[in-house]
């Protein structure tokens, strides 16, 4: 029995079965490659679901964490710590927001954003009747609050009604949003680029008009950039391309490049009238270790001009993916921005993904018929070429079977 088989057998015995894991036991990584417990190499075009933006084994990042481990890992939020102060200052600077709360995950960032919106409305006129509008086909997380604003009934149906007063509109359909607005609407929440829902970027006209409506009616605009933020779209944050700013912003994934950290940020106007001492908290949130990672990640993004690299290489990635659309009838279309791309197929993609794994390529889906491409942001043309060759062969093999 191989090392991988031993781990898989033990894992299947002890893990709660909430994931349908592929039979791969990842052991270590270097650059844009991962290696399993038996030494097999994989080109990684998943990045831990858009997390490992800087790739694996980055020396500066690793050393920063090692130094912090030797100094101080945790303090609680009863006290200040240097890395959190530095990370907060840098994150506010790059987002253009004013205040930040560090969480342990993207889901928790969504929870904080929802609470902030309700408290902001409550501070103006106390009521328990305020409503939030979310988008169909959205995904914001699996905790009860985040699940309540996730626009896919499949995720919600077994868990009751969740939060009350949540309405759903159609993404990129401003008239659909307008129909749901009432005097009780306190916020609209959406992903700037829908991820799990199929890699759909917001239309410029839709997002700009939504911002204008929110301004006119004093409704908070919450943008979820947990997956599409941190350089992935070709901008540091995807909303920058639209010339607007949210009232509340959620980030995670590549924010810490592997350590469990997220954040929600807000403007000063929202901060003054929303969460106050005792309203929200997190024992681990913003501890010195994760904030040392955040500060280092933000430094490295600027030092290595990561966003410019994504922007310069995006046309080539899109060209190669478009070539697959032209070449194979089962590939319907490509959509996305930057290094967050999707290929929609006319057939389920799980077998194509498995064939790619056999030949040393890790890719993931977004729904049953969409392959999602969210590689480390440091990939080069040679990696795109290798991905293209493996994926093209896998699609060809699948076409022979149908």
Residue 379 tokens read as: 């990939």
φ, ψ at 385 (rounded to 5°): -60, -45
- The whole model's pTM is what? 0.96
Question: What integer pLDDT is reported at residue 131 of this predicted model?
Answer: 97
pLDDT grade, residue 208 (50/70/90)? very high
Distance CA 245, CA 29 (A): 36
pLDDT grade, residue 159 (50/70/90)? confident
Alpha helices in 181-267 (DSSP H): 204-217
pLDDT grade, residue 1 (50/70/90)? confident
Distance CA 250, CA 252 (A): 7
273-320 per-position pLDDT tens digit: 999 999 999 999 999 999 999 999 999 999 999 999 999 999 999 999
Q: Do 92 and 100 contact (CB within 8 A), yes or no?
A: yes
Query: In the chain, where does the domain assigned CATH 3.90.1150.10 lie?
Result: 3-57+306-401
Q: Do 390 and 360 contact (CB within 8 A), yes or no?
A: yes
The total of other beta-carbon atoms located within 10 Å of residue 237's CB is 24
Distance CA 332, CA 133 (A): 31
Question: Judging by DSSP bridges, how do beta strands 193-194 and 131-135 pair with one another?
Answer: unpaired
11-70 per-position pLDDT tens digit: 999 999 999 999 999 999 999 999 999 999 999 999 999 999 999 999 999 999 999 999
Question: What integer pLDDT is reported at residue 268 of this predicted model?
Answer: 98
Distance CA 26, CA 24 (A): 6
Residue 108 tokens read as: 């928790």
Assign 203 to helix, strand or coil. Answer: coil
φ, ψ at 245 (rounded to 5°): -135, 135
Distance CA 339, CA 109 (A): 23
Q: Do 191 and 228 contact (CB within 8 A), yes or no?
A: yes
Q: What is the CATH number of domain 72-303?
A: 3.40.640.10
- Torsion angle, CA of 346/349/355/356, rounded to 10 degrees? 100
pLDDT grade, residue 269 (50/70/90)? very high
φ, ψ at 260 (rounded to 5°): -75, 100
User: What is the average pLDDT across 242-266?
Assistant: 98
The total of other beta-carbon atoms located within 10 Å of residue 281's CB is 12
Distance CA 386, CA 384 (A): 5
pLDDT grade, residue 143 (50/70/90)? very high
Assign 300 to helix, strand or coil. Answer: helix
Alpha helices in 20-58 (DSSP H): 47-50
Residues of the chain above pLDDT 70, percent:
100
Query: In the chain, where does the domain assigned CATH 3.40.640.10 lie?
Result: 72-303
Residue 257: DSSP 8-state: B
φ, ψ at 240 (rounded to 5°): -60, -35
Distance CA 228, CA 222 (A): 14
pLDDT grade, residue 178 (50/70/90)? very high
Q: What is the CATH number of domain 3-57+306-401?
A: 3.90.1150.10
CA neighbor of 238 nearest in space, from 203, 305, 192, 297: 192
**What is the residue-averaged pLDDT of the chain?**
96
CA neighbor of 46 nearest in space, from 253, 295, 263: 253
Question: What integer pLDDT is reported at residue 98 of this predicted model?
Answer: 98
In sequence order, what are the beta bridge partners of 41? 35
Residue 187 tokens read as: 């916020």
């Amino acid at each position: 029995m191989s090392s991988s088989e031993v781990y898989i057998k033990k894992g299947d015995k002890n893990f709660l079965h909430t994931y349908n894991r592929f039979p791969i036991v990842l052991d270590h990584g270097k650059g844009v490659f991962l290696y399993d417990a038996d030494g097999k190499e994989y080109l990684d075009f998943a990045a831990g679901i858009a997390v490992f933006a800087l790739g694996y084994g980055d020396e500066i990042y690793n050393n920063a964490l090692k130094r912090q481990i030797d100094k101080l890992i945790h303090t609680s939020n009863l006290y200040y710590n240097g890395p959190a102060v530095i990370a907060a200052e840098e994150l506010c600077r790059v987002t253009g927001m004013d205040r930040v709360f560090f969480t342990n995950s993207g889901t928790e960032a969504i929870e904080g954003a929802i609470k902030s919106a309700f408290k902001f409305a409550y501070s103006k006129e106390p009521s328990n009747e305020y409503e939030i509008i979310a988008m169909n086909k959205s995904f914001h997380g699996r905790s009860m609050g985040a699940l309540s604003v996730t626009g896919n009934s499949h995720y919600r149906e077994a868990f009751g009604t969740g939060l009350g007063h949540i309405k759903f509109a159609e993404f990129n359909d401003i008239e659909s949003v307008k129909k749901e607005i009432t005097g009780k609407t306190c916020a609209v929440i959406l992903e700037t680029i829908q991820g799990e829902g199929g890699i759909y970027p917001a239309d410029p006209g839709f997002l700009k008009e939504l911002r204008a409506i929110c301004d006119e009616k004093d409704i908070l605009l919450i943008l979820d950039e947990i997956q599409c933020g941190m350089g992935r779209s070709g901008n540091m944050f995807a909303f920058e391309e639209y010339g607007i700013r949210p009232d509340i912003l959620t980030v995670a994934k590549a924010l810490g490049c592997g350590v469990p950290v997220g954040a929600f940020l807000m403007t000063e106007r929202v901060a003054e009238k929303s969460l106050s001492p005792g309203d929200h908290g997190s024992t681990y949130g913003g501890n010195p270790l994760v904030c040392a990672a955040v500060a280092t990640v933000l430094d490295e993004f600027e030092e290595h001009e990561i966003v410019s690299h994504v922007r310069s290489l995006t046309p080539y990635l899109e060209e190669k993916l478009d070539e697959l659309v032209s070449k194979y009838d089962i590939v319907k279309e490509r959509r996305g921005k930057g290094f967050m791309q999707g290929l929609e197929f006319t057939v389920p993609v799980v077998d194509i993904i498995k064939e790619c794994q056999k030949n040393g390529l890790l890719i993931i889906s977004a729904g049953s018929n969409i392959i999602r491409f969210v590689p480390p942001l440091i990939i080069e043309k040679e990696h795109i070429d290798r991905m293209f060759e493996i994926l093209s062969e896998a699609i060809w093999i699948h076409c022979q079977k149908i």
